[in-house]
A and B are shown apart, each in its own frame.
Chain A
Amino acid sequence: MAVLAPPSSDIDLWEDASLADPYPLYQQLRDLGPVVHLSAQDAFAIPRYDPLREALADWHSFTSARGVMMNDHVNSAFTGIVLHTDPPEHDVMRKVLAAPLRPDQLRLITPRVRAEADAVVDRLVHRGRFDAATDLAQHLPLTIVSTLVGLGDFGKERMLEWAAATFDAQGPVDRARTRAAFPKLDEMVAYATQEVTAEKVDPAGWVAALYAAADRGALRPGQPEAMVMDYTGPALDTTIFATSSAIWLFAQHPDQWDLVREDPRLIPHAINEVVRLESPIQRFSRVATRDVEVGGHLVPEGARVLMLFASGNRDERHYPDPERFDVRRRPSDHLAFGHGVHACVGMNLARLEIRLLLEALAAKVERFELLGVERAVNSTLRGIAHLDVAVS
C-alpha cells in the first residue's frame, strides 16, 4: 500500500476561541484522517485513538528528548526533566521519581490525606456555597507540594501562578499568550533550580530523596535540581482541573452522582471517566526521529507531532457515544494520563486526592447546584477557573 501525504488543515488549536472550545475542532481533525498536517504550526496532529495509542507506545520513532512543548524557549527551559528524556536515561530517572508515588507508599500517607480531604469537605459543606475550583480543588495539591514534596511554605504562594504560566508558555511562540507567560516560567525555573537547595527542603520529603539518590550515585549531580520540577510543575493544575471538572460534570448529571453515592466503589471509574471527557492536559508533542507511517500516511523525519490526548479520548471509533458522561463506562484505557514509557508517574497520587474528596462529598452532598462557571483559558490545559456551587 502506498504511503500517502497526510491531509492538511488550517484549524488553529491555539486561537482563544479554540482553547475555549476545542472539541468541535478535534472532531473535524478526527474526520480528516489518522494524522493531519496543521498548516498554522507546520506540525502534525494525531487525533484518533488507535494511532495515538500506538504512537505513544513507540518512543523510538517519537522522541521526547527534543521537548514535548510547542516552542524552543520552554523546551530548553525544561531540559533535564524526566518528561524530556528517552530511555535508557528516562528509566533511571523515573525509577527514582516514582518511589514515593507507588501504591504501597501512597497507602502509608492515605490517612493523612483523608483527614485533610474530610476537613476541607466538612468546612465547605457547612458553608453551603463555595468555589469548587479554588476552595475545594486547590487545597490537597498545594498541601502536598508543601508537606510531602517538602518545599514548606517557601514558594507555595506563587506555586499556582507559576503552574498555570508553565502550561500557558507551552504554546506556539507566535502567540501573545505564550510569550506573556515566559517571564513567570523563567522565574519558576530559577526558583526550582537555584533557590530550592538540599538545606532548605524537608529532609523527609520527596525532593530530599532526589538529592539522596544523587549522593548514592543513582542520579548524576545536577539532576535533582531539574527534577524538582517533575514534582511541582505537573502536579497542581492537572489535579485541580480534574477535581473541578468532576464537580462540574456531577452538577450537570445528578443521576450519575446518585449512582456514585449509592455505590462509592464506582468512584475510581468515575475519575477515569472525568479525565477521559475533560482531559486536563489536552496535548503534548514529540519529534519524529525518522520517516514514520501513521495509519498509512507519512510523517517526515524531524516533524513535530502533536499527541492529542483529549481528542483520542473522545474518538467515536473507540468509545461508543463518546460525549456522554457515564460513570459505569470503565474507560480505564483512556489516554488522559498518557500511555507508554511516559505514562503519568503521578497518576496514583492524583487519583488518591480526587477519590478522597469525592468519597467525602458522596457521604454528605446530595446535590450540587451550579451558580456560575468561568473557564480557565490555557495553551495546554483544560479546566475551570471559578466554579460557584451550592450544595444540599
Chain B
Amino acid sequence: MKLTFRRPDGSHGVHDTDPGTSVMEAAVAHGEDGIVAECGGSLMCATCHVYVDPAFSDLLAPPAEDEAEMLTCTAAERRPTSRLSCQLVLTDDLDGLVVEIPEEQV
C-alpha cells in the first residue's frame, strides 16, 4: 500500500508500506528524517507529530486519551488534523494516506 509524506520543504516522499506498521515506523524505515520519534512509540516525546490530510480524517479513529494528552506537547503548532504518527497503524483502507510533516519536532 502507498503512504505519502509532504515534507516541510514542499517535496514529497511516496513509499510502499505494509498494513500493520505505524506511520512512524514507516517514516523511520524510509528515512523520513522529519519524523524524529525519539521515544520509539511509547507516547513520551511528541516528536512524531504529523498533520493528516483532511481527505483521510474520517477514516481514522479519534486519538485515544493518552495520545490526546501528548498532542498538547508538540513543538509545532497543534491543529485539528494533528496526530502522533506512532499511534496511526496502517490498515488496508488507508491505502494512499497523505500526511504532512511539520517544520519542527524537538
Residues 20-45 of chain B, each 1 if its beta carbon lies under 8 Å from chain A, else 0: 00000000100001001111111011
Which residues in chain B, 44-69, are within 8 Å of chain A measured between CB atoms? Answer: 44-47
Q: Are A103 and B40 neighbours in the complex by a CB distance under 8 Å?
A: no
Stretch from A16-24, A141-149, A188-196, A331-339 at the B interface: A331-339
Q: Can you spell out 23 A-B residue pairs with CB atoms less than 8 angstroms apart?
A: A103-B45, A103-B46, A103-B73, A103-B75, A107-B75, A265-B33, A268-B38, A268-B47, A272-B38, A330-B28, A332-B38, A332-B39, A332-B40, A332-B41, A333-B40, A333-B41, A337-B39, A339-B42, A343-B39, A343-B44, A347-B44, A347-B45, A355-B106
Residues of B within 8 A of A351 (CB): 38
Name the contact of A268 in the complex, choosing from B28, B41, B106 (C-beta under 8 A): B106
Name the contact of B72 in the complex, choosing from A104, A269, A355 (C-beta under 8 A): A104
Known: A332-B38, A332-B39. A348 touches B33 (CB 8 A): no
A60 within 8 A of B: no
Cβ-Cβ contact count across A and B, 8 Å cutoff: 39
CB proximity of A109 to chain B, nearest CB, Å: 14
CB proximity of A333 to chain B, nearest CB, Å: 4
Residues of B within 8 A of A272 (CB): 38, 40
Residues 238-276 of chain A, each 1 if its beta carbon lies under 8 Å from chain B, else 0: 000000000000000000000000000100110010000
Interface residues of chain B: helix, strand, loop or mixed (majority): loop
A104-B40 Cα distance, complex, nearest whole Å: 18
A339-B45 Cα distance, complex, nearest whole Å: 14
A103-B42 Cα distance, complex, nearest whole Å: 13
A102 within 8 A of B: yes
Residues of A within 8 A of B45 (CB): 103, 347-348
Residues of A within 8 A of B42 (CB): 339, 343
Residues of B within 8 A of A103 (CB): 45-47, 73, 75
Interface residues on B, range: 10 to 19
Residues 94-114 of chain A, each 1 if its beta carbon lies under 8 Å from chain B, else 0: 000000001110010000000
Interface residues on A, range: 10 to 19
CB proximity of A99 to chain B, nearest CB, Å: 11
Q: Are B44 and A268 neighbours in the complex by a CB distance under 8 Å?
A: no
A379-B40 Cα distance, complex, nearest whole Å: 28
A137-B42 Cα distance, complex, nearest whole Å: 27
Residues of A within 8 A of B46 (CB): 103
Q: Are A102 and B106 neighbours in the complex by a CB distance under 8 Å?
A: no
A65-B72 Cα distance, complex, nearest whole Å: 31
List the B residue with the shortest CB-CB distance to A347.
Answer: B44
Residues of A within 8 A of B36 (CB): 268-269
Residues of B within 8 A of A332 (CB): 28, 37-41
List the A residue with the shortest CB-CB distance to B47.
Answer: A268
A236-B12 Cα distance, complex, nearest whole Å: 43
A332-B105 Cα distance, complex, nearest whole Å: 15
Residues 314-354 of chain A, each 1 if its beta carbon lies under 8 Å from chain B, else 0: 00000000000000001011100101000100011001000
Residues of B within 8 A of A355 (CB): 106
Residues of A within 8 A of B33 (CB): 265
Residues 67-87 of chain B, each 1 if its beta carbon lies under 8 Å from chain A, else 0: 000001101000000000000
List the B residue with the shortest CB-CB distance to A268.
Answer: B38
CB proximity of A41 to chain B, nearest CB, Å: 29
Residues of A within 8 A of B75 (CB): 103, 107
A272-B42 Cα distance, complex, nearest whole Å: 14
CB proximity of A100 to chain B, nearest CB, Å: 13
Residues of A within 8 A of B47 (CB): 103, 268
Residues of B within 8 A of A269 (CB): 36
Known: A104-B73, A268-B47. A347 touches B28 (CB 8 A): no
Q: Are A347 and B73 neighbours in the complex by a CB distance under 8 Å?
A: no
A138-B42 Cα distance, complex, nearest whole Å: 28
Residues of B within 8 A of A265 (CB): 33
A351-B42 Cα distance, complex, nearest whole Å: 15
CB proximity of A50 to chain B, nearest CB, Å: 15
A268-B40 Cα distance, complex, nearest whole Å: 12
